[in-house]
Structure 1
Amino acid sequence: MDWQFTQPFTLALQPQAADIDGLNHTNNAVYVQWCERVAWAHSESLGLSLPDYQRLDRAMAIRRGEYDYLLPSLLGEELLLGTWLTGSDGKLAMERRFELKRAADGVTLMRGRWELICIEMSSGRPRRMPAEFLQVYEQVLVRPA
């Protein structure tokens, strides 16, 4: 499959009846939920889960989300959602990208981008990323061309 960046972390998805809106395609809000799901799955695969965030009192929170909805997906279609970490300032901020493809033909249906900021969970205030975040997340950064 031809992805925007190399070596995506992927999650297979299939729209269910509850995901379909009045236009007979997957509701855009579902795509946002899927992005959250694949982001957590990616983080957990790297060894950082919600209990780790709680232990460290730090989290990567979405400061800005952008989504380009290119084509609809339909009930029961097999889809593949890829994600990458594509930027880090080594202090507070990271960037995560997404690409949703139809499995049958590899056509891109949606692209997304998150600007993330490290926060202290107990206060909600921006704080430097702990060394554990940097060690885990920066090793998988993919730089945009």
Structure 2
Amino acid sequence: MTADDWDRPDPFTLALAPQPGDIDGLGHTNNAVYVQWCERAGWAHSEALGLGLADYRRLDRAMAIREGHYDYLLPSFEGEALLLGTWLTQCDGKLTMERRFQLRRASDGATLLRGRWALVCIEIGSGRPRRMPAEFLAVYGAAVAG
């Protein structure tokens, strides 16, 4: 697997391997597990950028998933070494962002999943859409991949 095989340069990555509880009745990783992995990668990336849950609570703002789309391209199996990459790909500077995902098998670099989230900034206390605070703009805006 080479850096050139990613959909975009310099992904934030998580190394993963399906565990016995991740496997469904068809003998491969359950699709819901992929969604959970994307959530884990999104939070880990945000924390690595310097915005964690404590910051969200302090600012009474959060980036909430408005839409999630997942293209399940190939299965994965128990114990397989996988790498999940994620990027912020859009930030409008007001309310919305886009995050993309690519899950690859380490042994051959094959892409197993591509995903996209449309995110909206909300006020945690009310759940209503609100403008992104300056901290979100500074951190997330600077992290948008080309």
Q: TM-score range by the shorter chain?
A: over 0.9
When the two structures are aligned, how many residues end up with a matched partner?
Answer: 143
Counterpart AA for 2:59:
L
Counterparts of 1:1-145 in structure 2 under 5 Å?
Answer: 1=2, 2-143=5-146
**Counterpart-to-counterpart distance in 1, 2:106 and 2:133:** 37
Q: CA deviation at 1:121?
A: 0.2
TM-score by length of 1: 0.98
TM-score by length of 2: 0.97
Gaps of 5+ in 2: none
Structure 1: which 4+ aligned runs deviate by more than 6 Å? none
Identity of aligned residues (%): 73
Gaps of 5+ in 1: none
**Counterpart-to-counterpart distance in 2, 1:90 and 1:137:** 9
Q: CA deviation at 1:140?
A: 1.1
Structure 1, residues 83-137: CA drift from partner, whole Å, max 9, x if none?
0000011100000000000011110000000000000000000000000000001
